[in-house]
Amino acid sequence: QSALTQPASVSGSPGQSITISCTGTSSDVGSYNLVSWYQQHPGKAPKFMIYEVSKRPSGVSNRFSGSKSGNTASLTISGLQAEDEADYYCCSYASSSPFVFGTGTKVTVL
Amino acid sequence: EVQLVESGGGLVEPGGSLRLSCAASGLTFSNAWMSWVRQAPGKGLEWVGRIKSKIDGGTTDYAAPVKGKFTISRDDSSNTLYLHMNSLKIEDTAVYYCTTGAGDFDNWGQGTLVTVSS
């Protein structure tokens, strides 16, 4: 099972919106609404940000939103803040694995 | 508040074995599906395997790179998850995280570092 494809880096200025893509196949992202997203600051454990494509766990800012179209899921961060600078990973249920993570995206706040 | 505390990491020679533990609190552990996720130094996250709750069958699933080498078990009486690792290779060097969740990973421990080196 190959990793889901994410851009290596995305950047934006404070207050802007950015979107991180997560591209899989019809065997994972395209077939299941079990896409989740994780934020990881350097040296820290990942934090659960989005589940089932677009749902936010309690305590996660509504500046974070998720969506999916075909084999590609997306995470949008609105009103970008300095504290959003981190690595972000998507994850999908997969027919063969059963889980596969994305390659990870480094978000830089300019 | 859910707390997951991993332990058991350390330095091991190639071909060696190691057992990691994850002590869970703040949840009904016996009902929880548990997974191990690892992260090699400077690399991304990689799902290792999971164990379902006993009421859901208690079965295990593993990622292809560790199938046959790693075994996940649980002790619901002590709220502890285990990862038994055999035939370790240099590429198994990583921080190993214990997580909860069935379709995602909603709680994470702080991780324990396993270094495979001669």
When the pLDDT of each residue in chain A is averaged and rounded to a whole number, the result is 96
Q: Is the pLDDT of residue A35 over 90?
A: yes
Mention every residue, 6+ apart, whose C-beta is less than 8 A from residue B57.
Answer: none
Residue range B40-80, pLDDT digits in tens: 999 999 999 999 999 999 999 999 999 999 999 999 999 99
B59, B95, B104, B105: which to substitute to probe chain A, counting the most A Cβ within 10 Å? B104
Residue with tokens 């179209």: A69
- A36, B45 contact by CB (below 8 A): no
- Within 8 A of B107 by CB-CB distance, chain A residues are 48
Q: Which residues 32-51 on chain A approach chain B with CB closer than 8 angstroms? A: 34, 36, 38, 40, 45-48, 51
CA–CA separation, A52 vs A79, rounded Å? 23
Q: What is the pLDDT of residues A48-67, one digit of tens each?
A: 999 999 999 999 999 999 99
